[in-house]
Structures are given as C-alpha cells and as structure tokens.
Amino acid sequence: MIHVIMGLKGSGKTKKLIDSIHEAVASASGDVVCIEYGKKLTYDINYRVRLVDSQEYCISTPDMLKGFLSGLHAGNFDITNVYIDNLYKTIGNDRAAGEEFILWCAEFAKVNNMNITVTVSDDVNLASDAVKAYL
C-alpha cells in the first residue's frame, strides 16, 4: 500500500508523517525506515526507526531512489513500513518523474507486502488523477 501526503510548504505534511511513523512503530510487526533529505527529523522520530539521510548516499534521481529502496528490501525482508520525506528535494522538482516514482512505489509495495508513505511539497490541485488515488 502507498499513501501520499501532499501539500504546499507549511501545510503540516511533516507533522502528519511523524504521527504516521509513530503509529507504525507502535503497531508494525516489522522494521520501519524513514528516508529524509537532510537530518531534520533526528529528534522527532522514535529511536527504533531506521532514519536515512538521502544526501549521505548521494540520491538525486528517481532511479537512484528506486535502487536504494530495492536494496533496502533485498537486505532486510522484515521492513514493513517505509517513509520518504520531501520527495522533490530528493529527486528534483519534476512532476512527471515524481508521478512515475509514486506509481512504481505502489507496485513495489504491493509485490513486497509493505507500506510506503511519501510526502510531496506541491499543490494538491496540480496532482494527476493517478497520484490523487493515493492521497
């Protein structure tokens, strides 16, 4: 399953993400991973969450992020929840690439029985119908 938290800057996306992460830590039967751009969530996230700074791994394109997620899963089949904060900061502000990545995540999550939540800093009204299905 995939969930997209979308809104303009200051709309509370990160707060919703943090709340969702804490719910997952309390109820998930597996491991929880959060991929962020920069180290902003260090003190907001439970210590049991594997917090990854995408900048440390030089992730800058959708394909790199796909490979990174695939590698995380290949190395740990116990991951049940993945959170990606600030998608556009990580892969760039390309709506088409962001949409394609979200659709890939939906299929990846389904095949690998995991939950993926992504925050996107953009106007909800500009989202495609395919992305709106995951809001």
pLDDT band for position 99 (cuts 50, 70, 90):
very high
CA distance 25 to 9: 26
Tokens of 120: 């996107």
pLDDT score at 28:
86
- Range of the structural domain that residue 110 is part of: 2-132
- Total domains in the fold of the chain: 1
CATH number where 45 lies: 3.40.50.300
Q: What is the pLDDT of residues 21-64, one digit of tens each?
A: 999 999 989 999 999 999 999 999 999 999 999 999 999 999 99
